[in-house]
Amino acid sequence: MNIRNQYCPNENCNFHLLKLNGNIVIHSRVQSRFRCNRCHKTWVAHRNKMHFGLKSGERKVIVTGYLLREQGMTIRKAAETLKVSPSTILRFKRRLLDFCFFA
């Protein structure tokens, strides 16, 4: 948890996108949450990461991209390899497309 890289994501806050102004504090160490003291908005540290909102970690998403693109696996074969459902592989693939890691 690095507080130096955090900024307020609230567009209505006067400290939006400003770092190291003293307005960011740790809200929860367990969940890696931060809070802006000015607008009281809270957020998780990995809100801009590829695996945000997924139950699987970022590594599993990247491995999915590797299997599909570099190894030429089908979605079903990749799902069997990673022991997840094919719909999960499709969700990972969509996430990779959104982050421009997969074409």
- Report the predicted TM-score, pTM, of the whole model to 2 decimal places: 0.56
Q: Are residues 35 and 65 in the same domain?
A: no
Please give the backbone phi and psi of residue 4, each rounded to the nearest 5 degrees, phi first. Answer: -65, -25
**94 within a domain of the structure (yes/no):** yes
**92 within a domain of the structure (yes/no):** yes
Q: Are residues 7 and 36 in the same domain?
A: yes
Domains contained in the chain, number = 2
Q: What pLDDT shows up at residue 45?
A: 75
Q: Are residues 62 and 34 in the same domain?
A: no
Q: Are residues 66 and 35 in the same domain?
A: no
**52 within a domain of the structure (yes/no):** no
Mean pLDDT by 10 residues, the chain (103 residues): 75 82 80 85 74 74 87 92 92 80 55
CB 26 within 8 A of CB 72: no
**CA of 61: how far to CAs of 57, 90, 98, in Å?**
7, 10, 12
- Residue numbers of the domain that contains 22: 3-44
